């Protein structure tokens, strides 16, 4: 899950803020800036983290954090050494609103980048419709790699032909469509070839 690290960070941040809010005053960490700036930054980061972690529900999640600023402030009534204040809740809510703006911009940029990757790296199905055919019904699949120059795949018999930049060609059999797609879409097709293709599938004479 791509958003798992963001989700872990968001919930960890929430747990830390609740702890700092309810813990005895002497256990509260020292201020980095002024106390109001620290509060605003904390809730700004919290709102940003949750909106990035759950981009499909970003607005709803961000508004919940803004509203939650007042609720978390009220939790201080549970601690005998802490006191809830309306102005503190307002500062936290303003910080959360600022975090919403930053997260919205980040999510928008991330969506644009994702759309561009999909445009320049079409799926295997799209490639099969538009890519040139070679001998034996194989289809050329787009790949970007320092090791691999070209990849050809046949859905009919599961043969995968890989041409290296050195000019050497290697032919494998028994490769599924999913495996071929995973190779050309891997962050490092060369490493994926070494770890997932070369050692797992029978090699034929190219």
pLDDT digits (tens, 9 = 90+) for 1-57: 467 888 888 899 888 887 877 766 656 665 566 777 887 888 888 888 889 888 888
Nearest partner of 93 among 73, 67, 72, 64, judged by Cα: 67
Q: Going by C-beta distance under 8 Å and a sequence separation of 6 or more, which residues neighbour residue 40? A: 91, 92, 94, 95, 98
Q: What is the pLDDT of residue 131?
A: 45
Q: Going by C-beta distance under 8 Å and a sequence separation of 6 or more, which residues neighbour residue 100? A: 47, 48, 51, 59, 62, 63, 65, 66
Q: Going by C-beta distance under 8 Å and a sequence separation of 6 or more, which residues neighbour residue 61? A: 47, 50, 51, 53, 54
Count of other CB atoms within 10 angstroms of residue 191: 12
Task: Describe the strand order of the beta sheet including 169-172 as a list of residue ranges.
Answer: 139-141, 148-154, 159-164, 169-172, 203-204
Please say if the pLDDT value at position 193 is more than 70.
yes
In terms of phi and psi (left: phi > 0; alpha: psi -120 to 50; beta: otherwise), the region of 167 is: left
In terms of phi and psi (left: phi > 0; alpha: psi -120 to 50; beta: otherwise), the region of 134 is: beta
Task: Kindly state the DSSP code that residue 76 receives in the 8-state scheme.
Answer: G
pLDDT digits (tens, 9 = 90+) for 73-90: 776 666 555 566 777 788
Model confidence band, residue 127 (pLDDT cutoffs 50, 70, 90): very low
């Amino acid at each position: 899950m791509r958003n798992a690290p963001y989700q872990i960070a968001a919930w960890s941040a929430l747990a830390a803020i609740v702890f700092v809010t309810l813990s005895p005053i002497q256990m509260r960490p020292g201020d980095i800036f002024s106390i109001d700036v620290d509060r605003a930054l904390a809730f700004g980061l919290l709102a940003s983290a949750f909106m990035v972690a759950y981009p499909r529900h970003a607005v709803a999640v961000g508004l919940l954090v803004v509203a939650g600023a007042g609720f978390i402030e009220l939790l201080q009534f549970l601690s005998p050494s802490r006191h809830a204040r309306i102005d503190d809740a307002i500062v936290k809510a303003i910080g959360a609103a600022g975090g919403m703006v930053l997260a919205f911009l980040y999510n928008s940029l991330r969506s644009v980048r994702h759309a561009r990757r999909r445009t320049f790296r079409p799926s295997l199905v799209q490639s099969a419709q538009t890519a040139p055919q070679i001998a034996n019904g194989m289809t050329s699949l787009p790949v970007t790699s320092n090791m691999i120059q070209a990849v050809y795949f046949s859905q009919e018999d599961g043969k995968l032909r890989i041409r290296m930049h050195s000019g050497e060609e290697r032919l494998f059999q028994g490769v599924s469509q999913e495996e071929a797609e995973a190779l050309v879409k891997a962050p490092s097709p060369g490493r994926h070839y070494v770890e997932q293709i070369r050692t797992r599938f029978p090699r034929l004479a190219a």
